[in-house]
A and B are shown apart, each in its own frame.
Chain A
Amino acid sequence: MTQSVIKLSVTAEDRRVAWLATAAVGLSLVDAAIPSPLPGVKPGLANIVTLVVLARYGWGTAVWVSALRVLAGSLLLGYFLAPGFFLSLSGTTLSLLTLGAAQHLPRRWFGPVSLSILAAFAHIGGQLLLARAWLIPHDGVFLLTPVFAGAALVFGTLNGLIAAKLLAETAPAETRP
């Protein structure tokens, strides 16, 4: 019998993604623990991690961290492959695409707060579109749009401010690229 050893080499980049995803998953759990008046209205604290990662390590890393967060968060909270998982996935996908486009805005004028607000709107937009197309095929879903949009504005601004504050501090030495 031949002995075969499969060795996965772990790069520093992999370790960084794993740590950052862990932080994002932790914040997702905090998010889920906060009582919400309406399903879907959540602070989305994990997006703070996405914003910081985007600014420090670029869009590719942000996609990895978000994807791992959606996957691991849904496994831990027990909604993997349930409707909530796909809502989360569609919202995250659309907000990542928006961030990918918005990061090219001039940095001098548009900071993390802008990115956060745009991403929050994209997130709720993605969720509403999927909900309309699949879960509740009726235009009545859109009656909630003003509520969701208002929440996206408020929480997007707050998360953006927190991300901006974190980014204003110097990066920890070991995570610096």
Chain B
Amino acid sequence: MKVWLTLIRPGDWLVILGSSALVGASIPAFWQGGMADRAIIRQEGRIFAEVDLKARKQFAVAGPLGTTVIAVEAGRARVVADPGPRQYCVKQGWLMRPGEIAICAPNRVSVQIAGRTKVYDSISY
């Protein structure tokens, strides 16, 4: 081990430290879009509310069938209750990654997670 350390010259340490810092800095720089920070609630395709995923909140969104209840918590959101017959959007559970979306089609309500940068899914791309 000691033999190997003697092979590293002073400038090499600088390069190692500098590039470690660069690698560390590249993680938030390239992956920030991968962190969920907002939930976009839509009703009839129009934005009903855009919420920061920080505080715990509940929204009641009125649709043609009744009221869809959406819960927002730190870093995640979900549909709590929906009057739709098949309950797909409720069964999806918590959404926490950007681009994830729960659509309650019968009641025309959707909730989508968004990050800092726009994330495409295979449908919109």
Contacts and interface: CB of A to CB of B under 8 A. Distances in A.
B7 A164 contact: yes
Count chain A CB atoms within 10 A of each CB in B4, B8, B23 and give the residue with the most.
B23
| Most B CB within 10 A of own CB, among A110, A118, A146, A150 | A146
B45 to A, nearest CB: 27
Nearest to B20: A153
B12 A146 contact: no
Interface in B1-55: 3-4, 7-12, 15-16, 19-20, 22-23, 26-27, 30-31, 34
Judged by DSSP, the binding face of A is helix
Contact of B26 (A118, A149, A156, A164): A149
Contact of A161 (B4, B20, B34): B4
Interface in B96-118: none
Given A143-B30, A146-B30, A168-B7, A111 B12 contact: yes
Nearest to A142: B30
A22 interface: no
A108 B23 contact: no
A145 B7 contact: no
A117 interface: yes
Nearest to B15: A114
A164 B23 CA distance: 24
Interface in A95-149: 105-106, 108-114, 117-118, 121, 140, 142-143, 145-146, 149
A117 B23 CA distance: 12
Given A146-B27, A149-B26, A106 B19 contact: no
Interface of B: 3-4, 7-12, 15-16, 19-20, 22-23, 26-27, 30-31, 34, 120
